[in-house]
């Protein structure tokens, strides 16, 4: 046997032993035998570097050091899930989806593991990269660290697609977490707080050899890509197992919401027997074709929902109520609590939301209160233990003036929150607006964080976000913890942000109620900031999905001379305030005023490409047929009830080619 054949044989043998141990939990040889074979392979590869292979089992040991984790745009967006907390929530979800798809619906039920979300990319059966979820649109490349996780295959088995992404959770099993803490306590170090945060933090360690020492696991649950040759979610889980991925076997295929609820009830009790943290169940429509029919909202798939187990509750003492000022001037009351352990973390503060919530719960300083984590993330006070209320307790009097600038607060009719109207003179509002402007979903200015923004404002170097573009390296160098290289990166990051596209700039400038989705709609409709600035309230409400509240907020924003001045300053330095020529090139008004429903399977273009063509040509997409629908674009396997409804309402049904003829 040649050296190359020896190396290949050892690699194949070690991959199988690795799979047996970390995926199947059924080792065939001892740890010592495995280590000896791995050592032999390392020596052979070291002596014969011409046979290097990035997917070799020897590449798991780590050693690469990553100083900066590169930001990568996900080829397929990683959506979040809508949450449900009751049987009624699930029944409402079922009713919504049954209106949108034809025929019987099966569901795949899976446990919702509480770890760090990850997307793994494979090409020709080989591991290519691992990217964190980030904001769903882009995340950090943590490939070197994820390669050290033994349950992540570097080379797949069987008959797999040429390219795909597979999503899952990086988790830290309880046993491994406890052993890590025992070792830390033994050497006098503080123990880690909980498995989830420790798993997430592990992915951003700079030294991958340190990650390799941690007993992390990767549990996979969703395959994404083109030409996958599978028809259902349950089938995709089975195929992923065949290819060598660690896919939890708790998943179950069911035919009704009643069976979903049985699955939930079982695991609400038995989840405590699992080796990992779980916080609920994910329910997915099983058919991939029906998933395509249902599509997505701006934030989540319509075809899936998370059922969250009841949150853990604890009681503690409310020490003091303080007040925070947000970037919009909104006042948020905060409960400062006697520290208490809750769901693996120490809770010291909780939001009280607004004056109405305080009055409704009759919350007072000195009360003993019940706290839970809403969705197991944000602590909230749910009730007061009146039996423990002190005799000298006094009603909470909500503040009347801003805690920062002393301006008298206002509360508009129909609004839940009080606001500080000192828009341009209240420092937390100024800092908050600039922090929003530089955030990842907005201008994404590398090298500039929230703390640095506060330092810049407090030092008098900037008063609004347009001032950022006047900063020099000499201006920022004197700031606390600002080294020469950091200053260079900050100025460079500001300069690069001038290339950020118009829709994100529009979101970044912080018009109240204009989030990411609304900003995209407005940018597509008006195409430039000048056109938007001159739009009236009446014109704005005629734009798809723009209501009166958003329209009035936009008009009010551009009535303020200082806001106009800031926009003009940004324009003068080259920030993008219009759609690019490339974006405009493929846009027409051919379908303006027309509403389309897309149903079935298509061949010339994908469903998503078809929807993009509708929007690029000025049309509107609806998920259900109504009297306002102009066309149903029907592909193969269009549901009979949709066809019947379209015919009943005299809605035109056109083919894929018929649609393409409309936009020629």
Q: Is the pLDDT of residue 211 over 80?
A: yes
If one compares 419 and 35, the residue with the highest pLDDT of the two is: 419
Closest by alpha carbon to 257, among 281, 291, 236?
A: 281
Return mean pLDDT, the chain.
Answer: 89
Whether residue 545 has pLDDT greater than 90: no
Question: Which residues neighbour 352 within 8 Å (Cβ) at sequence distance 6 or greater?
Answer: 321, 332, 333, 334, 335, 358, 363, 381
The CATH T-level fold of domain 3-61 is: Helix Hairpins (1.10.287)
Full-model pTM: 0.71
What average pLDDT does the segment 1-10 reach?
A: 83
Identical fold at 3-61 and 502-584?
no
Query: Mapping DSSP to helix (H, G, I), strand (E, B) and coil, where does residue 54 land?
Result: coil
Instruction: Output the pLDDT for position 364.
Output: 95
pLDDT at position 141: 94
CB 612 within 8 A of CB 588: no
Q: Of the CATH numbers 2.40.50.140, 3.40.50.150, 1.10.10.10, 3.40.50.2300, which one belongs to the domain with range 311-421? A: 2.40.50.140
Residues known to be catalytic: 112
Dihedral, CA atoms, 367, 372, 378, 383, nearest 10 degrees?
A: -40
pLDDT cut 90: percent of the chain above it: 58
Task: For the chain, give every domain's residue range.
Answer: 3-61, 83-308, 311-421, 427-499, 502-584, 595-662
pLDDT at residue 376, rounded to an integer: 47
Per CATH, the homologous superfamily of domain 502-584 is 5' to 3' exonuclease, C-terminal subdomain (1.10.150.20)
First vs last C-alpha separation in the chain:
63
pLDDT for residue 250 is more than 80: yes
The answer on pLDDT for 61 being more than 70 is no
The string of pLDDT tens digits covering residues 438-463 is 998 899 998 898 899 999 999 999 99
The answer to whether the beta carbons of residues 374 and 381 sit under 8 Å apart is: no
Of 332 and 298, the structure prediction assigns the larger pLDDT to 332
Which CATH fold would you assign to the domain 83-308? D-amino Acid Aminotransferase; Chain A, domain 1 (3.30.470)
Assigned superfamily of 595-662: BRCT domain (3.40.50.10190)
Coil/strand/helix, residue 287: strand
pLDDT over 60 at 377, yes or no:
no
Q: Is the pLDDT of residue 303 over 90?
A: yes
Distance CA 161, CA 225 (A): 9
- CA dihedral over 493, 571, 569, 464, signed as positive or negative: negative
Q: List, for residues 154-210, the tens digit of each pLDDT value.
A: 999 999 999 999 999 999 999 999 999 888 887 777 788 788 889 999 998 988 888
CB 526 within 8 A of CB 554: no
pLDDT at 498 over 90: yes
Residues 116-162: tens digit of each pLDDT: 999 999 999 999 999 999 888 889 999 999 999 999 999 999 999 99
**105's tokens:** 């619906």
Checking if the pLDDT of 22 tops 80, the result is no
Q: Is CATH 1.10.150.20 correct for 427-499?
A: yes
């Amino acid at each position: 046997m040649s050296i190359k054949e020896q190396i290949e044989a050892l690699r194949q043998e070690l991959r199988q032993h690795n799979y047996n141990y970390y995926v199947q939990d059924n080792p065939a040889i001892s740890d010592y035998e495995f280590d000896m074979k791995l050592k032999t392979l390392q020596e052979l590869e070291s002596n014969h570097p011409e046979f290097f292979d990035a997917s070799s089992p020897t590449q798991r040991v780590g050693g690469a050091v990553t100083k900066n984790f590169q930001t990568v745009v996900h080829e397929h967006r990683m959506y979040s899930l809508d949450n449900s907390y009751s049987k009624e929530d699930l029944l409402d979800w079922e009713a919504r989806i049954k209106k949108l798809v034809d025929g019987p619906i099966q569901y795949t039920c899976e446990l919702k593991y509480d770890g760090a979300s990850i997307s793994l990319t494979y090409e020709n059966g080989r591991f290519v990269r691992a990217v964190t979820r980030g904001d769903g649109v882009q995340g950090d490349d943590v490939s070197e660290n994820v390669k050290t996780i033994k349950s992540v295959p570097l080379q797949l088995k069987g008959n797999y697609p040429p390219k795909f992404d597979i999503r899952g959770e990086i988790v830290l099993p309880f046993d491994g977490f406890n052993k890590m803490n025992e070792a830390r306590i033994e050497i006098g170090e503080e123990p880690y707080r909980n498995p989830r945060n420790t798993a997430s933090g592990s992915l951003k360690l700079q030294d991958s050899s340190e990650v390799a020492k941690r007993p992390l696991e990767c549990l996979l649950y969703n395959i994404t890509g083109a030409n996958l040759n599978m028809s259902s979610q349950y089938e995709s889980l089975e195929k992923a197992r065949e290819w060598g991925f660690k896919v939890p076997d708790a998943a179950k295929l069911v035919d009704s919401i009643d069976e979903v609820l049985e699955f939930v009830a079982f695991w609400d009790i038995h989840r405590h027997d699992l080796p990992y943290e779980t916080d609920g169940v994910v329910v997915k429509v099983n058919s991939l074709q029906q998933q395509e029919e249902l599509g997505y909202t701006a934030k989540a798939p319509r075809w899936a929902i998370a059922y969250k187990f009841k949150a853990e509750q604890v009681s503690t003492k409310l020490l003091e109520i303080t007040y925070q000022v947000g970037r919009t001037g909104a006042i948020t009351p905060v409960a400062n609590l006697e520290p208490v352990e809750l769901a693996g973390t120490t809770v010291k503060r909780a939001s009280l939301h607004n004056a109405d919530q305080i009055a409704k719960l009759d919350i007072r300083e000195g009360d003993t209160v019940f706290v839970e984590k809403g969705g197991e993330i944000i602590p909230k006070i749910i009730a007061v233990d009146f039996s423990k209320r002190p005799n000298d307790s006094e009603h909470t009097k909500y503040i009347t003036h801003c805690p920062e600038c002393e301006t008298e607060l206002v509360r508009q009719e129909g609004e839940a929150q009080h606001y500080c109207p000192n828009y341009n003179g209240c420092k937390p509002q100024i800092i908050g607006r600039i922090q929003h402007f530089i955030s990842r979903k907005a201008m994404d200015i590398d090298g500039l964080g929230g703390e640095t923004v506060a330092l810049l404002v407090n030092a008098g170097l900037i008063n609004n976000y347009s001032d950022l573009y006047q900063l020099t390296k000499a201006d920022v160098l004197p700031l606390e913890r600002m080294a020469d290289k950091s200053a260079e990166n900050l100025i460079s990051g500001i300069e690069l942000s001038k290339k950020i596209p118009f829709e994100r700039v529009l979101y970044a400038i912080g018009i109240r109620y204009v989030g990411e989705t609304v900003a995209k709609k407005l940018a597509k409709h008006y195409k430039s900031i000048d056109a938007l600035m001159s739009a009236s309230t009446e014109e704005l409400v005629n734009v798809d999905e723009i209501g009166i509240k958003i329209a009035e907020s936009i008009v009010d924003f551009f009535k303020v001379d200082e806001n106009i001045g800031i926009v003009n300053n940004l324009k003068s330095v080259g920030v993008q305030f219009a759609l690019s020529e490339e974006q405009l090139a493929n846009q027409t008004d051919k379908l303006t005023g027309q509403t389309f429903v897309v149903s079935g399977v298509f061949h010339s273009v994908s469903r998503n490409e078809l929807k993009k063509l509708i929007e690029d040509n000025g049309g509107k997409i609806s998920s259900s047929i109504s009297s306002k629908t102009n066309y149903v674009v029907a592909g193969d396997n269009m549901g009979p009830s949709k066809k019947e409804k379209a015919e009943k309402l005299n809605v035109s049904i056109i083919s894929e080619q018929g649609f393409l003829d409309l936009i020629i």
